[in-house]
Structure 1
């Protein structure tokens, strides 16, 4: 079985390096031996006319060995340039990456590859290097974008707090005006606190790779608790809820699941108009927990839908003061940590449906 697996693995190469090097070395060795033999034979035929004894044989063998070493070394030195050229190119590109230039790229010889996936192991290494450089370049862009967004998100509430406190310090305000400005300062402080909390949560999730699913959870109860909790938060907005689920008991991480439902229901409330309905359904099918949260909100345009799970992305500019664009990024990360997927289907003016599928 192992030999068969090795053969299957080698089929992706036009010629493995082991075979390639063996062929090159065999050709060089054969060529050098033939040339040395011809050279010595011609020399003996033309220059030596005496008797052949052991001393002569020894000298001839010695001459052949010396010629083999000299000619072989020269041929190998010349041939090694061809063998080490792709490694030199790769080393140059790797140095660029080490210096922070993630646009490095190694050009492949497509003609030599033919119908095979790779020409050899170095070609495969070049492909993987190009993928790595591309990913690093993308991550570098995301990092710069992330830092820029963080600076902007932090600066906005800080500027508001600074401005309102300056007004309060100047004095001369009525009691009602003072209360109004203090309320605004408090709101911006809470917004800054939520931003820091979400950023720490995102950082923790980014560095977490294993989730211990130790809790036995009633997901239906979690969903009801989220509705009650968020109804109090959005007490100034009237929403109707249609629930379609029975008892949903799973083994997972309770805190992480609660974050998913609270973020998704919070978004459904935030982006829905007054006196609209939010549908929440859930079931366990073939070992997978399926939860759908659908609203009659403003919807998301097809152009914006691929971006909604990005960090700090907010499709609706009018809600920038009530969020920081990390909610859906956190949800997606948690769902992936739990081995599941999240899908969004939306139509402008008709609402949005978020479907979460988590294996249980």
Structure 2
């Protein structure tokens, strides 16, 4: 039972597509068949009515000649010649409505009042009437025309002609049967074609649905292959890109958690070891005690910086960090950054050269200062003593460009593409105060200002970080 339910669920799209195609096919072919049959019937009736009108016009001239001459025998001969019992009935009446001649005398002698016969009342009032009516003493349909006979303004009588439609109706019934048979065969063939077509559409949709279900369950990185040469190919390509992106994000998440664990474990372990040593008696030795307290203080500050940077990075990536934008002088911003880091540069034996054009930009001054300080901090860490860091700022089109260039060893080609990743550092041992978040935070700050940042390097000549920010 469960297997059948699963089969029904899988074939829901196929069943809906097939039902839609069949409904449209049945509706379309039925309308087309009905229109063809209606057109055929209307065309036949118009043709027979025109023929009937032409016959009565021709006969009325001959009958008018005979009536003018009061030659009723000739009138009867004309009626018998052109009339045919059971098929075509021809009648001639005088102006008072009395029957003068008929092609079916046996039937007509039973009629008491000709005024009640369809078309006669109008014809006796000198108006031509035609249409379809039942036979006088039968239930078969007949096409009739009643035409007044007028010569030189004199009303001579009425000519009424009718033909049976039985043979046409029998032929039309056979035509309807042929059309319905053709319609049934057409629907059957279209149903077979629609089944195949619906399956060709539903199969890739089902494949993509199952693929999306696997993505939802956490199976990232899989690839979907569909060859349809239509929008389904584009959808499959988007699903593949989403799968790759989710796999990449999942990998980044796992790497991030591993890096956070590593960064937190080291200072915590150092503090724990130091506390254990103090408890074991190191507290009684003043020199050793002071060094252990300094270690605890350093590791605590390191933890504080790491947690602050993690929170800062999280707010920037989530977009919840509000920027207090205002007009900022680029030269003033660089001067603030230089003043803040000047003592560190002097302690490291690194000189600074600044060439900044006075430009106005729009942004959050404190956040931009943080990004520039992170870049300068990185430049100091990788600069050798007696080297120089160059800061330049200028305009390029509608952008302000800030370049920070150091004279260190540079960044290897292997490290350069990943330099802005979280926790990534070119120092595998993670020695020093770096936690690998400074450049990542700087990049997020610049991007939050609708800007961009790039890095380039030449071996043993230093690295250059370039910031692009929109001018006011």
Q: TM (normalized to structure 2)? A: 0.60
Q: Provide the C-alpha distance between the structure 2 equivalents of 1:252 and 1:338, rounded to a whole number of angstroms.
A: 7
* Matched residue, 2:266: 156
CA deviations 1:165-216 (Å, max 9, x no partner) are 1111222442121111111111111111111111111111111189756312
Tell me, in whole angstroms, the C-alpha distance in 2 between the residues paired with 1:106 and 1:28. Answer: 33
Residue of structure 1 aligned with 2:204, choices 86, 110, 114: 86
User: Bigger shift: 285-294 or 204-213?
Assistant: 204-213
Q: Distance in 2 between matches of 1:235 and 1:164?
A: 32
CA separation of 1:219 and 1:270: change in aligned 2, threshold 3 A: same
Q: What residue in structure 2 maps to residue 40 of structure 1?
A: none
Indicate yes or no: 2:244 matched with 1:134. Answer: yes
Q: Which residue of 1 aligns with 2:453?
A: 342
The corresponding residue for 1:276 is 387
1:1-360 matches, within 5 Å, as: 52=170, 69=187, 72-109=190-227, 119-172=229-282, 173-208=284-319, 214-233=325-344, 236-317=347-428, 320-360=431-471
CA contact (8 A) 2:345 2:351 kept: no
Contact 2:351 2:386 in 1 (8 A): yes
Tell me the secondary structure at the aligned position of residue 346 of structure 1: strand
Deviation at 1:238, TM superposition (A): 2.2
Q: Is the 8 A contact 1:211 1:338 kept in 2?
A: no
Contact 2:361 2:470 in 1 (8 A): no
Over 3 Å counting, the alpha-carbon distance change for 1:318 and 1:103 in structure 2 is closer
The change in CA–CA distance for 1:28 and 1:210 in structure 2 (over 3 A counts) is farther
Larger deviation: 225-234 or 267-276? 225-234
* Mapped contact 1:211–1:337 kept (Cα < 8 A): no
Shift in CA distance, 168/232, structure 1 to aligned 2, threshold 3 Å: farther
Change (3 A) 1:245 1:267: same
C-alpha distance in 1, partners of 2:354/2:333?
Answer: 13
CA contact (8 A) 2:204 2:226 kept: no
Counterpart of 1:44?
none
Question: Where does residue 7 of structure 1 map in the other structure?
Answer: none
Distance 1:76 1:292 in 2: 65
1:328 is displaced (CA, Å) by 0.6
> Where does structure 1 lack aligned partners over 5 or more consecutive residues?
1-20, 37-50, 113-118
| Cα pair 1:209 1:337 within 8 Å, conserved | no
- How far the C-alpha of 1:129 sits from its partner, in A, is 1.2
Instruction: Kindly indicate whether structure 1 or structure 2 has the higher relative contact order, using CA contacts under 8 Å at least 6 residues apart.
Output: 1
Change (3 A) 1:340 1:131: same
**Number of equivalenced pairs:** 317
**For structure 1, which segment, 148-157 or 349-358, has the greater mean C-alpha deviation from structure 2 after superposition?**
349-358
- The alignment's TM-score, normalised by the length of structure 1, stands at 0.78
Distance 1:124 1:82 in 2: 16
Deviation at 1:132, TM superposition (A): 1.1
